[in-house]
Structure 1
Amino acid sequence: MSKLKIYIVEDDPIIAITLESILQKNGYSVCGHADSVDEALAEIKSNKPDLVLVDIQLDGERDGVDLAEDLDTLNKPYLYLTSQTDPHTIKRVKQTRPLGYIVKPFTENGLRSNIEIAWNNYINDEEFLSFSADNELYKIKQSQILYLKAYDNYCYVITTTRKYLVPKTLKYLSSQLNQEKFVKTHRSYIINLLKVDALCKNVVIINNIEIPISSSRKSTLKQLIQS
């Protein structure tokens, strides 16, 4: 835990300084802080923290929930740290994927405990998919995968940032995936349930891509998405 790099996004300078002091006292490395979404995103991409603490109320038009949506796209783990607990905010927060939600005012022990538990759950829950493509060996997080598409005896693995053509069959790669998170929608497609944006009549939408659904699988898929 002592090597964990944390980035702070907080618009109150006193709280930001307090956070940095507490984190450093408890052995964490603070690799930067910002009070707005745009500044935070630029530095997070540059400084590559392990974990981001996100206040919801920030300077500028975009708030911490908007930042969280960007962090979800980047697959960057984060914890909310905020005093906002109103129903509207919580509804927006539920559309994102934080490791936790720390309510202000916080204590030093409470902050440390939340970070340790959240990070421990994150690293133990993370799963990977290993494969060769273009004469290179890759090991990517399954959480980054949007869907897989069969292509003869090959298979495309599509992530949030890249498409890989893997010299393995869809059936072979699917055996390495978490069966609770990945499901076959069609004989040529397997999707990540956590990446679904919408379920339509004959297709499922992921990242603005329409993926076909076999009629025999639609009912099961709908139940899985709802659950």
Structure 2
Amino acid sequence: MTQPIQILVVEDEMIIAANISMQLTEMGYEVSGIIPRGEDAISHIKNNLPDIVLIDIQLKGELDGIETAQKMQEFHNNLAIIYLTANADEANFNRAKLTRPYAFISKPFKKLDLQRSIELTIHQLKSNITTPSNDSKNGASSYILKDCLFVRHRETMVKLDIKDIRYIQAERNYCRIFSNEKEYLIVTTLKDMDEKLPQKHFLRIHRSYIINLSQIDEIGGTHVVISRKAIPMTKGMRTELLTRLQTI
């Protein structure tokens, strides 16, 4: 059974937020949360990653919608953002463009505006994922050897040295591999990758992330930093991480 698209609504006008949530539910989408403040939305996505974030540019609080989106993308740089705005001035528009949003919806908006923006965003998200070939459907989207990984890239299998992998991020039934040179999207689950990768070098520190221990730059209380990317870490994993680092 196909899982419904999950959409997080970040909107500080609760009547508007409730109306949006109702409309999204009627369209068949799943609202993963309704959050009024940017700071709380950032905390939410660390453990509840949605497919799409629908966010008002003019949020109350320390962070506006654009700043919130920027910080969200530090945890998930391909997060699909759709902005809601009642004031699409040039300055805000130019700031918002830097976060590569999938759409803008001007307030007040009609249900059809919302529906089409969501549908176009989903279409773009699907277009960004290469359709698996017959081989990849049969489990040949990647091969892991002792010191290297072969991943399917377009129509060929590309060799990737394991030591060059920075981290791996789950995207539903896909995994995005971030290496020192480029990114690869492969058709496999993070659980499958975790079982196949050499445990000496890799550790799953979050339900959505596996990291290469040798690539860590900083260790915080609830995250690690690899190449200026803050990666969330599940509570309790810090002790295991420090123990594993002593054995490398």
Scaled by the length of structure 2, the TM-score of the pair is 0.55
Aligned length: 164
Alignment match, 2:137: none
**CA distance in 2: counterparts of 1:140 and 1:12, whole angstroms:** 46
Alignment match, 2:53: 52
User: In the superposition, relative to structure 1, how do residues 139 and 64 fare at CA in structure 2: closer, same or farther (>3 Å)?
Assistant: farther
Deviations 1:180-206 (A, max 9, x none): xxxxxxxxxxxxxxxxxxxxxxxxxxx
Q: CA RMSD in A?
A: 3.9
SS in 2 for 1:122: helix
Alignment match, 2:94: 91
Name segments (4+ residues, structure 1) moved above 6 Å: 133-141, 160-163
Asked if 1:3 corresponds to 2:4, the answer is yes
Q: CA deviation at 1:47?
A: 2.0
**CA distance in 2: counterparts of 1:138 and 1:53, whole angstroms:** 36
Q: CA deviation at 1:154?
A: 7.0
Asked if 1:81 corresponds to 2:88, the answer is no
Alignment match, 1:101: 104
Whichever residue aligns with residue 62 of structure 1, its letter is L
Q: After the TM superposition, which residues 1-227 of structure 1 pair with which residues of structure 2 at under 5 Å, given as runs?
A: 3-73=4-74, 74=76, 75-126=78-129, 132=144, 156-158=164-166
SS in 2 for 1:24: helix
Q: CA deviation at 1:20?
A: 0.5
SS in 1 for 2:88: coil
Q: CA deviation at 1:97?
A: 1.2
Scaled by the length of structure 1, the TM-score of the pair is 0.59
Tell me, which stretches of 5 or more residues in structure 1 are unaligned?
A: 142-150, 178-206, 210-227
**CA distance in 1: counterparts of 2:52 and 2:117, whole angstroms:** 12
Q: CA deviation at 1:137?
A: 6.8
Alignment match, 2:188: none
Q: CA deviation at 1:69?
A: 0.9
Would the aligned equivalents of 1:2 and 1:28 in 2 still touch at CA under 8 Å? Answer: no
User: In the superposition, relative to structure 1, how do residues 32 and 154 fare at CA in structure 2: closer, same or farther (>3 Å)?
Assistant: closer
Deviates more, 1:16-25 or 1:71-80: 71-80
Whichever residue aligns with residue 81 of structure 1, its letter is L
**CA distance in 1: counterparts of 2:106 and 2:36, whole angstroms:** 18
Would the aligned equivalents of 1:8 and 1:53 in 2 still touch at CA under 8 Å? Answer: yes
**CA distance in 1: counterparts of 2:55 and 2:150, whole angstroms:** 31
Alignment match, 2:202: none
User: In the superposition, relative to structure 1, how do residues 21 and 89 fare at CA in structure 2: closer, same or farther (>3 Å)?
Assistant: same
User: In the superposition, relative to structure 1, how do residues 5 and 139 fare at CA in structure 2: closer, same or farther (>3 Å)?
Assistant: farther
Whichever residue aligns with residue 107 of structure 1, its letter is K
Would the aligned equivalents of 1:12 and 1:35 in 2 still touch at CA under 8 Å? Answer: yes
SS in 2 for 1:69: helix
**CA distance in 1: counterparts of 2:22 and 2:69, whole angstroms:** 24
Whichever residue aligns with residue 112 of structure 2, its letter is N
